[in-house]
Amino acid sequence: MHTHGAYYPPDNTQIQPGMTRSYNWAIAEQYGPTPTDPECLTWRYYSNVDVERDMWDGLSGNLLTCRPGTLDKRGKQKYVDHEFALLFSVMDESQSHLLRENILEYTYRPDLVNTTDPMFIESNQMHSINGRVFGNLEGLNVCLGDKISWHIATYGKAIDIHTPYFHGNTFQISGKFRDTLSVAPSTHYTVVMHADNPGTWALDCRINNHFAGGMRAVYHVQDCHNSKALIPQPVFYNPKKVREYFIAAIEVEWNYAPTNRHIIDGSNLLENEESRVFVENGPNRIGRFYKKAVYRSSPIPHSLT
């Protein structure tokens, strides 16, 4: 496993299935926020055995480096109401280690599948936000007046140039208020939003083929009738504190569109010409279900084995 945003001695030791490994990452000052940055900066960790294929398998996660005194005992930010991580990516399932397994599991006639066919390759280009397409990403719910830290990341192929666009509300980055951001491949950003406009709003990539391919989500700003309590001030920070986390790499069945509907316009994805190519399975199409490898947090170390 490799990371950006922390230092550790170079080591190419691989973790075999069913085994565990401890990494000690030192967070140097240059990886942390400057006085003009948000409280936490966004970085990534990922499998480094076969970087590209591991990436399409799903072995990637976010690492945050935060200003001293801004995290509570659970490792959560004290001075924001919500934190959301958003991965904008054209997931190339045709390059995954699990491609053959997905063909055998989800196509009607695996023997008819031509993996070099341009239409098959196109059907496996999943234009997703956090592995969901056409508005199927769940859980982006906040209250009016909330302060939200959005942690935005991309993968490292040339196609992964994105322009995340938040409809309805603005965010702050580099001292400016904006509603869209240009994101290059393999980069990470933290933007801070004060949700002051209630409603259900679209969140999407404005690159034409990404937008048409389903790189769209919705977020909800609700009037929760809660008066905001005063935000506590930073407390004394012990620079020698060590935080310990347990992470497991596991195989899951992933559904890119759980509702099988286009949440933005309400249409059935199988009845929409633009979306059907990505979600329909058949004799030589995998569809919206894929076997993936993902990192999951684990409360205790022995559950990793």
> What's the whole-number mean pLDDT along residues 207-235?
77
> Can you give the pLDDT at residue 231?
40
The pTM of the whole model exceeds 0.95: no
d(CA 288, CA 278): 7
d(CA 181, CA 208): 15
Q: What percent of the chain has pLDDT over 90?
A: 64
With a cut of 60, say whether residue 24 has pLDDT above it.
yes
Nearest-angstrom CA–CA distance, 33 and 87:
21
Active site residue 224: no
Cα 54 to Cα 295: distance, rounded to the nearest angstrom: 11
Q: What angle (nearest 5°) sits at the alpha carbon of residue 206, between those of residues 205 and 211?
A: 70
Cα–Cα dist 26/179, whole Å: 34
In tens, the pLDDT along 58-113 reads 999 999 999 999 999 888 999 999 999 999 999 999 999 999 999 999 999 999 99
Beta bridge partners of 53: none
The region that residue 206 occupies, defined by phi over 0 for left and psi between -120 and 50 for alpha, beta otherwise, is alpha
Distance CA 232, CA 128 (A): 36
Dihedral pair phi/psi, residue 30, rounded to 5°? -70, -15
pLDDT at 51: 87
Cα 244 to Cα 262: distance, rounded to the nearest angstrom: 40
What span, in angstroms and rounded, lies between the C-alpha atoms of 31 and 280? 43
Q: Which residues of 19-35 are buried (b: 16+ CB within 10 A; e: fewer)?
A: eeeeeebeeeeebbbee
Residues in CB range of 190: below 8 A, 6 or more apart: 37, 38, 40, 41, 42, 149, 150, 151, 152, 173
Q: Which residues contact 33 (CB under 8 A, 6 or more apart)?
A: 39, 40, 41, 65, 66, 67
State the pairing for strand pair 289-298/246-255.
antiparallel
pLDDT of 268 strictly over 50 = yes
The pLDDT assigned to 93 comes to 95
- What's the pLDDT score for residue 226? 61
Query: In terms of Cα–Cα distance, which of 242, 229, 9, 263 is closest to 138?
Result: 263
What pLDDT score was predicted for residue 37?
Answer: 93
Residue of 121 and 237 predicted with greater confidence: 121
**For residue 20, is pLDDT > 90?**
no
Q: Is residue 244 scored above 90 in pLDDT?
A: no
Model confidence at 28, pLDDT cuts 50, 70, 90, reads confident
Q: Identify the residue whose tokens are 């055995």.
A: 49
Q: Among the options 40, 66, 205, 224, which is catalytic?
A: 205
Whether the per-residue pLDDT at 299 is higher than 70: the answer is: no
**In a 3-state reduction of DSSP, which class is residue 168?**
coil
| Range 290-305 average pLDDT | 65
Q: Which of 48, 41, 52, 126 is nearest to 85 (CA)?
A: 41
User: What's the pLDDT at 279?
Assistant: 92
pLDDT of residue 281: 87
Cα 26 off chain centre by: 24
Residue-wise pLDDT for 160-195, tens only, equals 999 999 999 999 999 899 999 999 999 999 999 999
Q: Can you give the pLDDT at residue 160?
A: 92
**Which of the residue ranges 135-149, 219-233, 251-265 would you say has the lowest mean pLDDT?**
219-233
